[in-house]
Chain A
């Protein structure tokens, strides 16, 4: 069975610092991997996704993630945090070829300090 673990329910960084949000997954088949962002009282917005091909995926708002099969990881990074990046971030996995059903991690709340 597939599962997703996000290490750290809360991450705090200073404005301008590197953002690193960790995600590890377990899957018996090559997965599709996703990162979503949720601002307060809003729905989830797709940041980026990995399906096949290049393992370094670039998304919106300057975020990127790298699929590392050997480490079963899909960590999200951004070189320089902005105050507007403060939100909750969800990593999700879907087995390749699935109809789109996702398994989500528990989420990581990113706080950005001025």
Chain B
């Protein structure tokens, strides 16, 4: 069966520091991968999605970037965090149906 992992689970970072969140998928190959952000009290915002290694589509211009160095690895990064980057970050994989990871809670102070 397929599983999806995200780490870290929780992160507290100062404004201006870099960010790296990692997502890995097991039990499938060549999945589509997604990064979402969920701000407090708001819905899901699709940030990036990828249909293959090195192929990244950005949905919203922002302070973040994504990379897919391996087939089942998806990384969300920032060079300098902003207060507005705080939120709950969710990774998902799909073929026909999306399945979500456990999420990373990011607090930027």
Asked if A and B bind, the verdict is: yes
Query: Interface of A with B (CB < 8 Å)?
Result: 32, 34, 36, 41-46, 49, 51, 90, 92, 99-102, 104-107
Additional A-B contacts beyond A43-B103, A46-B99, A100-B95 (12; CB < 8 A): A42-B103, A43-B6, A43-B90, A44-B90, A92-B98, A99-B94, A100-B96, A101-B94, A102-B46, A104-B43, A107-B43, A107-B44
Closest to A102 in B: B98
**Interchain CB contact (< 8 A) of A99 among B32, B90, B101, B105:** B32
**Interchain CB contact (< 8 A) of B96 among A32, A41, A104, A107:** A32
Interfacial chain B residues near A90, Cβ < 8 Å: 43-44
A46-B90 in contact (CB<8A): no
A104-B102 in contact (CB<8A): no
Interfacial chain B residues near A99, Cβ < 8 Å: 32, 51, 94
Chain B interface SS verdict (over half)? strand
Distance in angstroms between the alpha carbons of A36 and B103 in the assembled complex: 15
Interfacial chain A residues near B32, Cβ < 8 Å: 99-101
Q: How far apart are B44's CB and chain A's nearest CB, in angstroms?
A: 5
Distance in angstroms between the alpha carbons of A34 and B96 in the assembled complex: 11
B44-A34 in contact (CB<8A): no
B103-A100 in contact (CB<8A): no
Interfacial chain B residues near A101, Cβ < 8 Å: 32, 34, 46, 49, 94
Distance in angstroms between the alpha carbons of A49 and B51 in the assembled complex: 22
B100-A44 in contact (CB<8A): yes
* B97, CB-defined interface residue at 8 Å: yes
Interfacial chain A residues near B51, Cβ < 8 Å: 99
Question: What are 28 residue pairs bridging A and B, where the CB atoms are less than 8 Å apart in the complex?
Answer: A36-B100, A41-B88, A41-B105, A43-B90, A43-B100, A43-B101, A43-B102, A43-B103, A44-B44, A44-B90, A44-B92, A46-B99, A49-B97, A51-B96, A90-B44, A92-B98, A99-B32, A99-B51, A100-B32, A100-B96, A101-B32, A102-B46, A102-B98, A104-B44, A105-B43, A106-B42, A106-B43, A107-B44
